[in-house]
Structure 1
Amino acid sequence: MATRSFKQALSLRWRRIWLPRWRRRSLFVVGGIFVGLAAVAMTFMADAAQSAFFQAQKTWPYLPLLVTPTGFAALAWVTSRYFDGAQGSGIPQVIAARQLTDMGAKQKLVSPKLAVAKMFLLTAGLLCGASAGREGPTVQIGASVMFFLGRFAPHRQPGLLLAGAAAGVAAAFNAPLAGIVFGIEEMSRSFELRTSGLVLGTVIVAGLTSLAVLGDYTYFGRSNETLALGAHWFSIPVVGVVCGLAGGGFSRVVIAFAFGLPGKAGRVIKRHPVLFAATCGIIVAICGIMTGGAAFGTSAEQAKAILAGEEVTGLFGPLKLIATMVTTMSGVPGGIFSPSLSVGAGLATLLQGLLGIPIGPLAIMCMAAYLAAVLQAPITAFVIVTEMTGNHALIFPVMICAVIASFVSKAICKEGIYHALAHQLLLKSHSERNMT
């Protein structure tokens, strides 16, 4: 009798406690697999789109003057009309969704519909020359996958969204540490002990899924460059200040346009968003043509060339910054991670003549510093750059550059770009709820 009672108690405990617990944990594993597969699909789609555009642009050098503004206008109209919430990077949407409690409001920012739309809209953007990356969109797609799975564990929604976002970065960059740090520093801005294990598990599964398909690689190749102790270290504050000013200025301009310019200019842009997107497309086309096509797309190949010591046009850095800025302002779906790293590498070519140090270590420092200034997340920036270049010899110079740049950026722009844009989305959501 006692044995039967013990078995019944054990069975009851299994059904009420252990089974639901393992069911919830399995969601993170399944979600990690789907996020990894989505990141792989995005990689193939984005690379194919960029290749097609560059091939066409090589044959007809001035074709972007027609294709890019037309494509921007069409994408702005389609996105706002049918896929509102898919604009831009997608990371602000995930940050805002984590803070919302209403499930209907969350679904306007992260959902399977937006995930699928984001993949095709980003591909279309790269096909017409947008200066955008796939990493931010992969974060929104990852969060959308986990949001969908969250219907099986509604009370774990914030943790699921965080896990999806972190897994998206890890799978997109083949940088698991960067994914974890991004989740802590940028997405949650705190260390959540209760969900840390599940986030780590999702990142591992997503990373392994991507690794199984694409193989082991570093985004910008491997670098063993070092910075000699002594006079070369005096370049570190210069890099931090210059990149901090550039990244802070970028964020401030984008945020100003997102919240709406004052006066007549702001009213015109608000009334004619499609025309504004076409204007942005013209600017991107001009920047691309002036750089021989280098400013289109992610410009990852140009960044790799700079790291390898190859020469690029001196105007690449500033023009890539402008192209990325106006692409972001236009509302065309696309991320700023990869383009920002390319801008940093481009700025290094301008600073080399002044500082007189090898381009390899200088480019790595500038990449981390500029990204840190844009995001105002120095830990995420130097971890990402370190993993993407495979260079650990420069870890201390890169860390110092990132911290200085983030500090300088805050003097120009009070809040990092993702959190400022997330704040705007929250204001919009609250306004819509009050109207209803």
Structure 2
Amino acid sequence: MKGEPDFLQNLRNEIGDGRQWLDRTIVIAYAVLAGLSIVVFTLLADAAFDLYQGLRSAAWWAPLLWTPALTALIVWSVRRWSPGAVGSGVPQVLTALAPETPIASRSRFVSLRLSMVKIVGVSGGLLAGLSIGRQGPSVQIAAGVMLHAKRWLSPKTDISTRELLVAGGAVGIAAAFNTPLGGIVFAIEELSRRLQDRSSGLMLAAIVVGGLVSVSAFGNLSYFGRVRAENLSWWVLIGPALVVSVASGLLGGLMSRLLLASFTGLPDRFCAYRRKRPVTFAAACGLVVAVIAVITQGDAVGIGHQNTHALLAADGGEHHRPLVFTGLKFIASWLSSWAGVPAGMFGPSLSIGAGLGADVAWLFDSPHAPALIALGMCGFLAAVTQTPITAMIIVMEMTDGHSMVLSLITCALLSSLVSRMISRPLYSTMSLLMMRSLRGDTNVAPRSTDLAPLVGSPAPTPPTDR
């Protein structure tokens, strides 16, 4: 029939185009490098936090001096030499993906240099004992590695910069959580609504290959380990599960709103002081986090996976201090981000959600604490990021909770819905503000001049305590 594909001709075109196969090989090779960069990042971040824990164990008062001093040093260094490395990293990738962002400005948000700075900065934050995550920064790190592949591709290639950024960001999530499927869903739900038809298969292959590098390095287990939740339906848990979902949405929405307010800078004395003396403000945030670390014996700082392990191992009971851990971890995570260090929220969100699930299990005296903890992890992550499908996939694979898939997705959707009533989407809103600041629009949000350090240009009010 006329118009049908010519199999033999298409086969000859595929085999005969050597440059096309070379481009594909380059993309896959860089996907492997991106996965390896996250493996190195994981090992370095874990080693940094282990050193901090050793320091805290040797002298309980040491964090009161160490954390503020190192936090101030990190903020001063990043603001001076690499402002684009501040924050999570997901908004930077979204900004680089935006068609409105000039090609020449993309290096302010994503580059190989920023990837290296991000690795050092986040590891430094964990060495300081802050409550930060590494999964969000992994998105910017892997995207920077993948973007570097562009210089080796053919000028006539069908592989666009956008696709490399999407694939790199997804590789970051896939490798950070050991969940290749989670990386694919994140690419679709958060980073891109579409991929070019001719290259989508190659990009998906790159995501899977990058994720498998992490699986090969650490085994077929997630960073948080595997915990088998009971085969319970939503109806068995409907009372406590509904409370977990709504509470996750409220707290997650509040966290998102606080982070946005911290990012834009409100007309209050704290934000005014932060604009005037950012390094001193960072030291003050570090001091409060250090006090929290002393109170909780280090449980409420770091990424939080150790406390989540302990909660699940103890069925949310003997290890958990009801309501105390969740509140202090929430405050420590917010202040760590507000300080202005390179910091992610994926890991702390999972830890806060786990504490919230354990709190509800304690309040209801429920025998199904592991299931409620898994729902809390899913709900709070979905509420902060407002990406419910990604949150469900990540938690399902982390907890081996395939039997809870309907409960997890219901919780994620409900929590995300509640969060949207409180706060705008966190990452996309930050990206929008970055783009407007890049264009020089000063009427985008209260105190929008505070955005300048995050897009690689000097702040209108330079710090006075360098």
The question of a shared fold, defined as TM-score above 0.5 by the shorter chain, is answered with yes
From 166, 169, 183, the counterpart of 1:165: 169
Q: Secondary structure at the match of 1:221?
A: coil
1:167-316 alignment, distance < 5 Å: 167-190=171-194, 193-226=197-230, 228-229=232-233, 230-308=235-313, 309=315, 310-314=318-322, 315-316=324-325
Return the offset for 1:263.
4.5
1:354-402 Cα deviation digits (max 9, x unpaired): 3332210010000000000000110000100011111211111111111
C-alpha distance in 2 between matches for 1:342 and 1:265? 27
Q: Which amino acid aligns with 2:286?
A: G
1:333 maps to what in 2?
A: 342
Return the offset for 1:192.
5.3
1:228-282 Cα deviation digits (max 9, x unpaired): 4555223222111100000000010110111111144433221211112111111
2:462 maps to what in 1?
A: none
**Which region of structure 1 is more displaced relative to structure 2, 232-241 or 73-82?**
232-241
Q: Which amino acid aligns with 2:363?
A: L
1:409-424 alignment, distance < 5 Å: 409-413=419-423, 415-424=424-433
C-alpha distance in 2 between matches for 1:397 and 1:247? 18
Q: Secondary structure at the match of 1:131?
A: coil
1:430–1:194 Cα change, 3 Å: farther
Give the conservation status (yes or no) of the 8 Å contact 1:236–1:400.
Answer: no
Give the conservation status (yes or no) of the 8 Å contact 1:227–1:233.
Answer: no
Return the offset for 1:147.
1.3
Counting helix residues as a fraction of each chain, which structure ranks higher? 1
2:395 maps to what in 1?
A: 385
**Which region of structure 1 is more displaced relative to structure 2, 360-369 or 92-101?**
92-101
**Which region of structure 1 is more displaced relative to structure 2, 300-309 or 226-235?**
226-235
Q: Secondary structure at the match of 2:85?
A: coil
Give the conservation status (yes or no) of the 8 Å contact 1:225–1:360.
Answer: yes
C-alpha distance in 2 between matches for 1:48 and 1:141? 18
1:231–1:142 Cα change, 3 Å: closer
1:279-331 Cα deviation digits (max 9, x unpaired): 11112112211111101111101001111225222211111111111111111
Q: Secondary structure at the match of 2:220?
A: coil
Q: Does 1:362 align with 2:372?
A: yes
C-alpha distance in 1 between matches for 2:193 and 2:294? 40
Give the conservation status (yes or no) of the 8 Å contact 1:94–1:143.
Answer: yes
1:6 maps to what in 2?
A: none
Give the conservation status (yes or no) of the 8 Å contact 1:32–1:164.
Answer: yes
Give the conservation status (yes or no) of the 8 Å contact 1:221–1:390.
Answer: no
C-alpha distance in 2 between matches for 1:351 and 1:193? 46
1:145-156 alignment, distance < 5 Å: 145-153=145-153, 156=160
Q: Secondary structure at the match of 1:88?
A: coil
1:66-99 Cα deviation digits (max 9, x unpaired): 1111111111110010011001111110010011
C-alpha distance in 1 between matches for 2:14 and 2:394? 42
Give the conservation status (yes or no) of the 8 Å contact 1:28–1:201.
Answer: no
Paired residues, what number? 424
Return the offset for 1:418.
1.2
2:448 maps to what in 1?
A: none
Return the offset for 1:189.
3.8
1:340–1:37 Cα change, 3 Å: same
Return the offset for 1:128.
0.7
1:393–1:244 Cα change, 3 Å: same
Return the offset for 1:335.
1.2
1:261–1:195 Cα change, 3 Å: farther
Unaligned runs of at least 5 residues, structure 1: 1-8
1:427 maps to what in 2?
A: 436
1:91 maps to what in 2?
A: 90
**Which region of structure 1 is more displaced relative to structure 2, 145-154 or 387-396?**
145-154
1:363–1:191 Cα change, 3 Å: farther
1:412-433 Cα deviation digits (max 9, x unpaired): 00x2211111112112221289
Q: Secondary structure at the match of 1:132?
A: coil
Q: Secondary structure at the match of 1:150?
A: helix
**Aligned residues: percent identity?**
37
C-alpha distance in 1 between matches for 2:358 and 2:401? 19
C-alpha distance in 2 between matches for 1:228 and 1:157? 44
1:26–1:359 Cα change, 3 Å: same
C-alpha distance in 1 between matches for 2:391 and 2:104? 33
C-alpha distance in 2 between matches for 1:196 and 1:235? 41
Give the conservation status (yes or no) of the 8 Å contact 2:171–2:210.
Answer: yes
2:140 maps to what in 1?
A: 140
Q: Which amino acid aligns with 1:312?
A: H
Q: Does 1:346 align with 2:355?
A: yes
Return the offset for 1:104.
2.1
Give the conservation status (yes or no) of the 8 Å contact 2:244–2:379.
Answer: yes
Return the offset for 1:221.
2.4
1:38-80 Cα deviation digits (max 9, x unpaired): 0110111011111110011011112111111111111111001
C-alpha distance in 2 between matches for 1:31 and 1:375? 27
Q: What's the RMSD between the two structures over aligned residues? A: 2.3
Give the conservation status (yes or no) of the 8 Å contact 1:318–1:347.
Answer: no
From 385, 395, 413, the counterpart of 1:403: 413
Give the conservation status (yes or no) of the 8 Å contact 2:175–2:211.
Answer: yes
Return the offset for 1:224.
2.5
1:100-139 alignment, distance < 5 Å: 100-139=100-139
Q: Which amino acid aligns with 1:301?
A: Q
Q: Which amino acid aligns with 1:43?
A: T
Q: Which amino acid aligns with 1:369?
A: G
**Which region of structure 1 is more displaced relative to structure 2, 172-181 or 415-424?**
415-424
Return the offset for 1:227.
5.5
1:212–1:264 Cα change, 3 Å: closer
2:384 maps to what in 1?
A: 374
